[in-house]
Structure 1
């Protein structure tokens, strides 16, 4: 039996984080990748994603991926948002999957499904 490789698949979350780190290092961008700068860049890219949907009706926004040009823009902006989020997590030491799992756990307690007494009700 062979041991699993210690190098993550480039398309895994860890692999993508490493690729982003190598990309930034090769260009000497690390000094600029501070938590503040990465959070700002993340916000800008999220705004660019929102811009695609800004004046669309609900029906138009639901069908946005049917237009190849718009779908390409959406995928690019999603990639930019994810890239900056992963870079932010790398710099701050946040495990994004663990953070998400913990947040879902808290939300399940704060907002139980209707008719289920398995958690406290929100009082505000």
Structure 2
């Protein structure tokens, strides 16, 4: 992990541990919580068309709420990774490498087809 992700994770663990909340953070409950927070992120754009969402990003109130919800999801992902002993940055690089192999530029550029359809 990069220093900034490690530092953020350490700060998050201290926040959690200072409140004795690890006891409530089973892997299952953290994954459920990440899903709930993702639902709250989706709620921000519910009933809006694509252009309305793109336009909303210039609204300071929307940006603030978007930042809060994205942060909630990210923090739960850090908690999940810490609990499961996963290096999130390393795994993200590995996933990009996998996707790079599945979606070669010469076949995937400019289309949204799944790799099995290329």
Q: With structure 2 as the length reference, what TM-score do the two structures score?
A: 0.86
User: How far did residue 114 of structure 1 move?
Assistant: 2.4
Given the alignment, which residue of 31, 44, 54 partners 2:46?
54
Superposition pairs of residues 18-57 of structure 1, within 5 angstroms: 18-57=10-49
Q: Which has the higher contact order (CA 8 A, sep 6+)?
A: 2
Structure 1 residues 56 and 114, CA, compared in 2 at 3 Å: closer, same or farther? same
How many residue pairs end up in the alignment? 110
Q: TM-score, normalised by structure 1?
A: 0.82
In structure 1, C-alpha distance between the alignment counterparts of 2:34 and 2:71, rounded to whole Å: 11
Q: What is residue 91 of structure 1 aligned with on the other side?
A: 83
Aligned mates of 1:41, 1:115 — CA distance in 2: 37
Decide which structure has the larger Cα Rg and report it: 1
Q: Which has the higher helix share?
A: 2
Runs of 5+ in structure 1 lacking a partner?
1-7, 117-121
Point out 4+ residue stretches in structure 1 off by more than 2 angstroms.
none
Shift of the alpha carbon at 1:103? Answer: 0.8
- For 2:74, what is the secondary structure of its paired residue? helix
